[in-house]
């Protein structure tokens, strides 16, 4: 079930909210149980069989948490259970997400003819698997174990962040699961945040997706320089508003139920280095890899640069692989490894000089990286990039001009909103003024109605991160 669907907006969400604040208001445990089963229903709506996979993940990680807590003063035994936890969780992820890819590559390299299983990918498996691992690792590190399996289930399965994040760390919500407090201010701010996210997804991401798809689905041998750049920029904006919009909706939904999730995006396209970009983009994933992989390996506080390079290589290969079973994602991760290693070794990201030039360099590689991300295979990615730099010999074509003319307003709004310009203007000149507050409410209501109109009309409504 998509957040940006009429089923969710007018049936699932209103019913869950009404029951949560009326029938289930009597006790926190009743509310948690209700949210857990509502989350299972949300997940089962589109993928009923895969609920069993998630339930298995919840049960096993609950057991692993108890086992590690039992032997917390016997570190050697606790480490064994931690190792088993990693093998179990990554094993499930490998089977569903990477097994077919590995067998295909073994067949291609060796000439063998092993059977390649066609395994459907459970929605959100990368996200809820990392959350489950976060819980057990945090228990190993000293966080209080959760004795109630339903609370562990709620943490892993809670529907706002279940299928697309943000990846919520157990330590950030452990207290909220049992002691959160719902307020009218939080609820209203959650509704506003949800509408903003819905508008970003439906009005901007979905519209820009049409331009991006037109470019990436065209014949790379004939696409013009202008059209290839238009498509790449459209996809750069689409993936930002698609994913950050979904994160906004998740954060807003969490607040409606009294949960406060950490931010997942912080205007990444204003970055003046690749290092800064990854502090601002998909913050929860970057934080997860930093705290559970990079720091345990030694991070940047190592004696030899060779070890620093190895640590970065491991993290970014895993980041690329996490996003998908395709060589394009591995190459995408490797590209960021090279760029981040260069910045670490030269301290370029700490320089205060030529900020505008570093901003151009950052955006250039981010856009090229999204081409890798979007392409079906490496050959198509390089062919598309070649077209961007004049490989086809054609500078501009009528289709590029038509699509730019038809969507120029969306491009302008998307570029402005991807910066903190409007936010800064609001806080500097308009915050606290009653007229402006009323106007904001009116604008949000209009955005919601227009978004719903698009959905009712059956407008194009993909979601990129469902693939991961």
CB atoms under 10 Å from CB of 394, counted, come to 17
pLDDT for res 467 = 62
- Residues 6 or more apart whose CB falls under 8 angstroms from that of 252 comprise 189, 190, 191, 192, 193, 194, 195, 196, 197
What percent of the chain lies above the pLDDT cut of 90? 70
Can you say how many angstroms the Cα of residue 347 is from the centroid of all Cα atoms in its chain? 28
Indicate if 323 belongs to the active site: yes
Which of 5, 104, 95 has its CA nearest to residue 53? 95
Higher pLDDT, 364 or 72: 364
Residue 461 predicted with pLDDT over 70: no
Cα distance between residue 172 and residue 187, in whole Å: 19
pLDDT for res 75 = 87
Cα distance between residue 4 and residue 41, in whole Å: 17
Of the pLDDT bands very low, low, confident and very high (cuts 50, 70, 90), residue 415 is very high
pLDDT for res 170 = 86
CB atoms under 10 Å from CB of 288, counted, come to 24
- Residues 6 or more apart whose CB falls under 8 angstroms from that of 56 comprise 92
What confidence tens digit (pLDDT) does each residue in 257-299 have? 999 999 999 999 999 999 999 999 999 999 999 999 999 999 8
Assign residue 107 a region: left if phi > 0, alpha if psi is -120 to 50, beta otherwise?
alpha
pLDDT for res 45 = 87
Give the largest CA-CA distance in the chain: 71
| Angle, in degrees to the nearest 10, between helices 225-256 and 398-417 | 30
Which of 332, 322, 321 has its CA nearest to residue 370? 332
Asked if residues 394 and 225 have their Cβ atoms less than 8 Å apart, the reply is yes
pLDDT for res 174 = 86
Asked if residues 251 and 166 have their Cβ atoms less than 8 Å apart, the reply is yes
Residue 49 predicted with pLDDT over 70: yes
* Active-site entry in 282, 304, 323, 429: 323
Cα distance between residue 417 and residue 237, in whole Å: 10
What confidence tens digit (pLDDT) does each residue in 193-228 have? 999 999 999 999 999 999 999 999 987 667 899 999
Q: Which has the minimum average pLDDT: 146-150, 319-323, 393-397?
A: 393-397
pLDDT for res 442 = 92
Cα distance between residue 40 and residue 163, in whole Å: 12
pLDDT for res 460 = 66
What confidence tens digit (pLDDT) does each residue in 66-116 have? 999 999 889 899 999 999 999 999 999 999 999 999 999 999 888 888 888
Mean of the per-residue pLDDT values of the chain: 91
What is the value of pTM for the model shown?
A: 0.92
pLDDT for res 220 = 64
What confidence tens digit (pLDDT) does each residue in 349-363 have? 777 778 889 999 999
pLDDT for res 427 = 80
pLDDT for res 465 = 63
């Amino acid at each position: 079930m998509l957040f940006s669907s009429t089923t969710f907006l007018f049936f699932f969400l209103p019913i869950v909210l009404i029951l949560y604040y009326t029938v289930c208001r009597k006790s926190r445990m009743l509310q948690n149980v209700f949210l857990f089963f509502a989350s299972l229903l949300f997940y089962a709506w589109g993928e009923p069989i895969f609920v069993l996979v998630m339930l298995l993940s919840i049960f096993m990680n609950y057991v692993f948490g108890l086992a590690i807590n039992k032997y917390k003063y016997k570190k050697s035994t606790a480490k064994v259970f931690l190792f088993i936890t990693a093998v179990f969780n990554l094993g499930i992820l490998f089977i569903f997400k990477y097994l077919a890819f590995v067998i295909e590559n073994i067949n291609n390299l060796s000439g063998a003819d092993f059977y390649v299983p066609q395994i459907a990918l459970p929605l959100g498996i990368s996200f809820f698997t990392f959350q489950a691992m976060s819980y057990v690792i945090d228990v190993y590190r000293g966080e209080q174990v959760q004795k109630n399996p339903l609370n562990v289930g709620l943490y892993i399965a809670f529907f706002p962040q279940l299928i697309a994040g943000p990846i919520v760390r157990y330590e950030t919500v452990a207290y909220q699961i049992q002691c959160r407090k719902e307020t009218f201010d939080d609820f209203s701010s959650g509704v506003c945040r949800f509408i903003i996210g819905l508008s970003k997804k439906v009005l901007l991401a979905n519209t820009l997706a049409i331009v991006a798809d037109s470019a990436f689905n065209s014949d790379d041998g004939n696409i013009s320089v202008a059209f290839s750049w238009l498509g790449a920029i459209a996809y750069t904006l689409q993936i930002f508003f698609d994913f950050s919009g979904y994160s906004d909706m998740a954060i807003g939904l969490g607040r409606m139920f009294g949960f406060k999730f950490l931010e997942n995006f912080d205007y990444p396209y204003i970055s003046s280095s690749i290092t800064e970009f990854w502090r601002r983009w998909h913050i929860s994933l970057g934080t997860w890899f930093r705290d559970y992989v990079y720091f345990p390996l030694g991070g940047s506080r190592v004696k030899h640069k060779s070890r620093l390079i190895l640590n970065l290589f491991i993290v970014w290969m895993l980041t690329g692989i996490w996003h998908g079973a395709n060589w394009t994602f591995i190459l995408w991760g490797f590209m960021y490894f090279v760029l981040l290693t260069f910045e670490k070794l030269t301290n370029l990201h700490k320089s205060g000089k030529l900020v505008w030039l570093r901003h151009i360099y950052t955006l250039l590689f981010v856009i090229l990286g999204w081409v890798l991300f979007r392409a079906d295979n490496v050959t198509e990615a390089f062919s598309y990039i070649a077209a961007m730099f004049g490989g086809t010999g054609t500078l501009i074509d009528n289709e590029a001009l038509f699509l730019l003319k038809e969507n120029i307003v969306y491009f302008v709004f998307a570029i402005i909103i991807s910066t903190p310009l409007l936010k800064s203007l609001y806080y500097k000149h308009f915050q606290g003024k009653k007229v402006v507050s009323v106007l904001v409410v009116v604008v949000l209501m209009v955005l919601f109605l227009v978004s719903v109109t698009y959905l009712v009309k059956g407008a194009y409504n993909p979601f990129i991160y469902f693939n991961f």
